[in-house]
Each structure stands twice: as structure tokens, then as C-alpha cells.
Amino acid sequence: MKQNITEFIIEFAKKQDIGGLISDIWRTPLVRFGDANHPDMKKLRKLVHPEHVLPKEILPDANVIIAYFFPFNEKIVNGNKIERLSSKDWAMAYEKTNAAFGELNQFLISLLEEKGYKAVVAQQAFQYDESILKSRWSQRHVARLCGLGTFGINNMLITESGCCGRIGTVITNLDVKPDSPITEEYCMFKKNGSCGACISRCPTNALTKEGYSRFVCNALCDENAKVHVGYGNSYTLENAKQELAGTNTCGKCVVGVPCTFNRP
Ligand code: B12
Ligand code: SF4
Ligand code: SF4
């Protein structure tokens, strides 16, 4: 079943990567199956948000979380290396990936239900408290516990296919042996104090060796949202025309660094 779901996600990405306002944006997705009852899940109430939801609160007999990562391809990533603001392609890839995840999650839920299982998506993942810039479902922490990667000092989840891409999760009662979190440190700074390339890539000094300011970072993402307006979900022109909100994006600290495309 793990293999079936992984293949399903990979095939979905291939099909959705054609057409729309932007195409050919992803490399092969990565998929992991984490333990929904991992003892460290409860720690997310301390590490992320005091009201972080637990998988069992969403699906009482949850035992597995399917975590997937869609890595962006070289064209999208390298196009975002230049200039202070995000490239148009980077912002459109963000929108299209989010829209594709909405569809993929529905397909995964149907697939699992057809096989007699239950599956749900934590809606908290798509919301965050704007006064603290924190969500009640941290995709990065959940994906880390599922074995999809480890954290870099740029804050990103670094996977086998690097950190440029987006993460989705689905909670289920699927009966498979869960994968374990990765114990090796992928970030070179965390591993041996070397690298630090992401720090000098950040145009606003939101990233320093001492830490990260999500508010300074958010100010640049907001600046981008004023420029990158009207991409909708980048699936269709009609959607794009209807959508007036800007795309809150940046991603300069994830491009042109050793963890961009691979784990260093
Ligand atoms: C709010 C939000 C933002 C805010 C705040 C960012 C932030 N770093 O918190 C703003 C608007 C600034 C933002 C910016 C970006 N975002 Co954003 N964002 C989110 C959102 C909705 C919630 C994040 C959250 O709750 N943060 C709160 C902190 C506490 O939790 P965390 O970041 O999940 O986890 C970190 C900390 O807990 C810390 N940590 C780990 N262990 C410990 C231990 C201790 C003791 C402490 C104190 C901390 C700590 O490291 C963790 C990993 O970095 C998530 C989606 C989601 N629901 O998770 C996307 C998400 C994090 N964003 C994402 C992306 C890609 C970006 C941008 C690159 C923008 C872009 N698309 O171009 C930048 C990157 C900024 C950065 N360097 O972190 C991706 C990250 C993918 C990845 N590979 O990691 C996510 C997961 C969306 C997705 N579905 O893929 N984002
Ligand atoms: S660029 Fe280097 S220091 Fe920064 S997160 Fe990646 S590996 Fe770590
Ligand atoms: S997303 Fe942009 S502003 Fe935020 S830390 Fe990375 S480079 Fe800096």
C-alpha cells in the first residue's frame, strides 16, 4: 500500500505539471509514512503553538501521517536567484503547488476510503495566527517526524531533494509500518558549524547565526505580495483573473545554497 500511494502521488504530479499558467515546475515528489502517535507529537504544543492539534484529535483512530514534498525544478529555483524580490515563476509555482495539493488531498482521501480506510487533512495547516505568524499544524515539524527531512538554519525542512519545494500531509488510519524520523543532521551548519550560505542570501537579515525573525521575514514576503498580484491558483487563466490577493513569498534563503536541490 505504501508503494501504491507513493506511485499515485508521483503520477499525480506528472499529470498536473502540464498546462495551467505555469507548467513543468516539480521534480519527483518524495513521500513518507510517519507515526501519527509518535511521542514527540505532543512536544509541538511547546515548540510551535500551545494549541497545536494532535492527529488523534482530528481522526480518533489515526495511526499514520502521509507526508509528501514536491521539490521545484531547476528552472523555477534558479530563476529566483537574482534580484531582491521573488521571480514571477517562483510566486506562480507557489500558487499552483498549493492548488494542486488541494486536489491531491481529495484524491488521496477518496483512494483510501475506497480501500476501506479513513483519511482527513488538518485544516489548521492552511491557517496561521497573523499576530504571531504560527500555525496550529506545523507541516515542517509533522513532516520531520514522518522522516521526510531535518531542519536547516534557514528554518526549512531539508529533504533528500533539498529544501526548495512545498510540503503536504494527510492523516489516516492506514495499516502500514511507519517510517522513523531521520537522526542524521542534514544542515552543514548544524552538523559541523560550516556553510551558513543561507544567512548571506537573505536580503533583510531576517536570518542570522543567532536565529531567525519571522516578522522581519514576513515584511519582505508582504512586499512581494504587493508585486505578485492576481496569479490565482495558476491552474487556469479564469482563476487567475478572479484572484486579487497577492502571493506572500520570497525564498531567497533557499536558492543558490548547498541544500537547494539535495541534502548536502
Ligand atoms: C506562517 C508561515 C510563514 C510565515 C512565518 C515563517 C516561519 N518561519 O515561521 C512567513 C510568511 C514569514 C513565511 C515565510 C516563508 N515560508 Co512559510 N509558512 C508558514 C506556515 C503557514 C506556518 C509556519 C509556522 O507555524 N511557523 C511557526 C514555527 C514555530 O514553526 P515551524 O516554522 O513550522 O518550525 C520551526 C521552528 O519550530 C524551529 N524549531 C525547531 N525545533 C525547535 C526547537 C526550539 C526550542 C525552538 C525555539 C524552535 C525550533 O524550526 C522549525 C523549522 O524551521 C507554514 C505551513 C504550515 N502550516 O506549517 C508555511 C511554510 C513553513 N512556509 C514555507 C515556505 C516555503 C516559506 C518561504 C520560503 C516563502 C516562499 N514560499 O517563498 C518563507 C521561508 C521563511 C523561513 N526562512 O522560514 C513552507 C516550508 C517548506 C520547507 N521546505 O520547509 C511551508 C511548510 C508551507 C508548505 N506547505 O510547504 N511562512
Ligand atoms: S545553506 Fe548551509 S547552513 Fe543554510 S540551511 Fe542549508 S546547509 Fe544549513
Ligand atoms: S524567506 Fe526571504 S526574508 Fe525570509 S529568511 Fe528567507 S531570504 Fe530572508
Name the residue of 205, 207, 210, 216 to mutate for ligand 3: max ligand atoms within 8 A of Cβ.
207
The cell numbers describing 29, all together, are 515528489
Domain parsing of the chain, residue ranges: 2-186
DSSP 177: P
Judged by DSSP in three states, 6 sits in helix
List per-residue pLDDT tens for the chain, 264 residues long: 999 999 999 999 999 999 878 899 999 999 999 999 999 999 999 999 999 999 999 999 999 999 999 999 999 999 999 999 999 999 999 999 998 999 999 999 999 999 999 999 999 999 999 899 999 999 999 999 999 999 999 999 999 999 999 999 999 999 999 999 999 999 999 999 999 999 999 999 999 988 999 999 999 999 999 999 877 665 554 544 455 578 999 999 999 999 999 999
Reported as a single tens digit per residue, the pLDDT across 35-56 is 999 999 999 999 999 999 999 9
In 29-87, beta strands by DSSP E: 30-35, 64-71
Indicate if ligand 1 lies below 6 Å from the C-beta of 155: yes
Write the CA distances from 76 to 14, 20, 100, 121, 128, integer angstroms: 16, 15, 17, 28, 26
**Cell 502517535 found at:** 37
Q: Does 94 sit in the ligand 1 pocket, CB within 6 Å?
A: yes
Overall pTM > 0.75: yes
- Grid coordinates belonging to 224: 512581494
The pLDDT assigned to 240 comes to 47
Tens-digit pLDDT profile for residues 7-23: 999 999 999 999 878 89
Name the residue with the closest Cα to ligand 2, atom 5. 152
Around ligand 3, the residues with Cβ closer than 6 Å are 201-202, 204, 206-207, 217, 220, 250-253
Predicted pLDDT of residue 231: 79
pLDDT value, residue 102: 92
β-bridge mates for residue 67, sequence order? 32, 169
Q: Whose CA is nearest to atom 3 of ligand 2?
A: 196
Please state whether beta strands 157-158 and 30-35 pair in parallel, antiparallel, or not at all (unpaired).
Answer: unpaired
Tally the C-alpha atoms within 13 A of residue 144's C-alpha that lie toward its C-beta. Answer: 20
Query: Residue 207: what pLDDT?
Result: 96
The mean of the pLDDT values for the chain is: 93
For residue 211, what is its C-alpha cell? 536565529
- The count of residues in the chain is 264
> How far apart are the C-alpha atoms of 10 and 70, rounded to whole Å?
9
CA distance 68 to 6: 9
Number of H helices, E strands in the chain: 10, 6
Q: 60: Cβ–Cβ under 8 A, 6 or more apart, which residues?
A: none
